[in-house]
Amino acid sequence: MKKFDFLETEYHLEKKYLGFTGKGSFTYSGKIKSFSSVVKVNPDWKDCFITIQAQKDSEEIALIDLLKRNEVLKETNITIDDNSSFTISYKIPFFASSNKKRFDEIIETTISILKKNFYNPNIILTEEKEEFSNFENFNYKEKFKNLDEIKIEYNNREENIFLGILGVIGVSLLSMIAHIICDIVDGEYTFVLYVLLASVSCYTYKQLAGKISKKSPIFIFIILIISLFITTVLSFIFSFYYFYRESGVLLSEAFQEVPPIIISDPEVRELFINNILICAGALTISFIITFYRIFKEEMEYLKFKKIRKWIRRFYYVKIFKVIILFIYIL
């Protein structure tokens, strides 16, 4: 999750990916201000769990009482795992900046309490350690299933291809209307619509189909390309009608006359092809980037290593082609 990139860049924790979106989680492990720590993040449940290793020979006041007295930690769940570790959980704020601020507050407050009360960071804590207990309050073990359970559950989940395709078609129809309006008003930045279209279509398919497979990008991309071609033809027709309607041209006549003009007139045909290529380039780049992100979230990292290499290679080739095309047009 990008909201937690600061754990790598600022706290220098090591990130590991433990499964698939929907049931998966990320862990970040390392030392925070000398205390061995594991941070676990679950994207679906919007929870963050911070497990910290700390020990003291004798406790005048129980650690959980020391922590819960503080205002910053009052809205968190705190559990003592054993004699040497404890876990703080909190709901992840919507905005990344708010999340970092919340995490920093919790860490600064917690570490300050530990140091003031002479707790020692004397044992190394790793994400493999699973002797956690007393997590009933927030179902930690249920939310962070092991990788084998995640794989089985994911593989057994059915992909509703039909519903996913319907969602992509619905998004494409909305983009058709927006494209036609943009071309009539000012068609200079129409390609931006296709950057958004590709991204929205991918996430719409994912939500409605319930699962992403290797076949999913094929379905989505074919629909988007067909939609682009049809929309560009309709855009030329409606633009022709809009500019010549005062001369008595009817919409039905525009539908009859414009397609043959696109085919037979070299200048119009070149303009049509350029429009298709620019929008298709923007759509393709956005599609690759979006689906690459979805694959990173949805699929196990090593299983799709070859796919990611192909995506990267294809991504750079497309960027180069689009740059050359823009230079040629200009």
Domain boundary among 121, 145, 169: 145
Domain span at residue 112 reads 2-145
* Beta carbons of 143 and 188 less than 8 angstroms apart: no
Per-residue pLDDT, averaged over 306-319, amounts to 53
**What local confidence, expressed as pLDDT, does residue 269 receive?**
87
Looking at the structure, tell me whether residues 162 and 140 fall in a common domain.
Answer: no
Higher pLDDT, 153 or 72: 72
Residues 168 and 251 in one domain: yes
152 within a domain of the structure (yes/no): no
Q: Is the pLDDT of residue 25 over 80?
A: no
How many C-beta neighbours within 10 Å does residue 225 have? 16
Distance CA 117, CA 113 (A): 6
Q: What are the CA-CA distances from residue 245 to residues 176, 258, 269, 281, 293 (Å)?
A: 21, 14, 22, 32, 46
Same domain membership, residue 194 and residue 119: no
- Same domain? For 46 and 108 the reply is yes
CATH at 54: 3.30.1460
Among 95, 110, 145, identify where a domain stops: 145
d(CA 231, CA 169): 12
Using the predicted structure, report yes or no on whether residue 85 has a pLDDT greater than 60: yes
pLDDT, tens digit (0-9, with 9 covering 90-100), for 96-138:
678 888 999 999 999 998 888 878 876 554 444 444 333 333 3
pLDDT at 314 over 60: no
For 162-215, the pLDDT digits (tens) are 888 999 999 989 888 888 888 777 666 777 888 888 888 888 888 888 777 778
